[in-house]
Chain A
């Protein structure tokens, strides 16, 4: 198993997600669903590591990808003005994907995963809306919210199929990647509301500025991830792939 083998499977999963939500009008106006390849890698990780794998689990990760895409689409809606045809159809594409994940699982009778993912939708919505709440959340609260946004659905899938041994690695890596992305956006002058809220919650220590603080945080997460990798039962090729593709190149 090398990088190209892993990437081929990630690409296949992406295509299967697209295929399951194909809709002529939505495709024309809103394009393919938003999928994050790093998340796709972690959905497939148990399979790559040789766990017992079957069609039900593969269909399960397709629906995980679809439900993630549903909420990501809705993240594209403008706060005040969503009257363009593209924005209106973006609302509907998210709703359509949400109906499709449910429909796929309903047709195969996978009610336990329906419950897991719907609970995930509830939890993720509760954390995504935090940026609009007047509450004073701490920096760690914001990290918890970002962890849920990035990894809750995959965690639920792991929980459903007893793959929880992969959870810590997945959560740490996806959080590190998200923070790196947030930092890059900040440096380009495109800070997200989450980043601004985290900045507000930052209590300066020893004249450390927020940018440096965030860089240190990412470093700590990467260090933590490397430790988790070395003590894990992941195949060496997978450890190498994560190290090379998801840490070094990020």
Chain B
């Protein structure tokens, strides 16, 4: 249902998104059946494709040509996909989007090769673009995503972290790739420097909001909606914004300590979810997400008037209010 709403929002771009979808399948083609199956397994599990969408929408403020833009849009989704495959190895995850992960369906090594193959294809694809600036943005983002993940591992189960640590982490983990989607779209679409900066900032703010909402959904959604157990982030030691806003709660401290030893029972998980859901932390976290959204809207306001401007606002709002 939610995915339908998103599709309606970008209906103007539907033919181009279909081209991207076909290109994604083409990009994952391989002489290895196993690599192809493993990659396709993830591609077909769905995903909102918001990164390619932002690439295309950003280019609408410059010289838009789908035949050129696909070489920027496809790699952004592939980088996202490749990092998911490797993340599942790091987190030992069995499910993603309700389906078995590559590592659980095959094994960790197959997942490593699949992730590397997808990253390789992403860079191979973007190498059709001869503008070094686009490569610099993308490469820097890939490095920073890793830095964010390293920080995330270091911060696991660390109770003495603050909200600033959290923002530093989600900036690298999520916001940068969305920011880069807008920036690369603007660079390849030859958008002028001032508007490119607005688009870049818009991507950053939307990305921050997106991750905060994601972290809230991990507590308030059902296992079925998430396609994995609710509260998984905390079980894995990732202390996200709702928890940071109530980290002095004795039950939460106790839960984190037990989770760090892998001793949490199903009953305790449900109890923790109840505490978080009933607290003000969810409302507060969503209010912080709204503040980022408001900043994103301000950036869109500064862009020249065209039909995409309205769509950017609608999609940003959708992301901030989404339920999946």
Contact = CB atoms under 8 A, between A and B. Distances in A.
A34 B107 CA distance: 23
A121 interface: yes
At the interface, is chain A mostly helix, strand, loop or mixed?
Answer: helix
A12 interface: no
A77 B111 CA distance: 10
Interface residues on A, range: 35 or more
A126 B123 contact: no
**Most chain A beta-carbon neighbours within 10 Å: one of B109, B114, B122, B145:** B109
A205 interface: no
Contacts of A125: 32, 35, 113-114, 116-117, 120
Name the prevailing secondary structure of the B interface residues.
helix
Interface in B134-161: 135-136, 138-140, 142-143, 145-147, 149-150, 153-154
Contact of B108 (A23, A79, A126, A129): A79
Contacts, number: 147
B146 to A, nearest CB: 4
A126 B132 contact: no
Nearest to A78: B108
A122 B34 contact: no
Given A109-B132, A122-B121, A82 B149 contact: no
A95 B146 contact: yes
A228 B307 CA distance: 65
A106 B109 CA distance: 29
A80 B116 contact: no
Contact of B120 (A74, A92, A118, A130): A118
A92 B117 contact: no
Interface string A64-78: 000000110010011
A118 B124 contact: yes
A78 B110 CA distance: 11
A79 B109 contact: yes
14 contacts: A89-B153, A94-B112, A94-B116, A102-B142, A103-B143, A107-B136, A107-B139, A114-B123, A117-B123, A118-B122, A121-B119, A126-B117, A133-B33, A135-B33
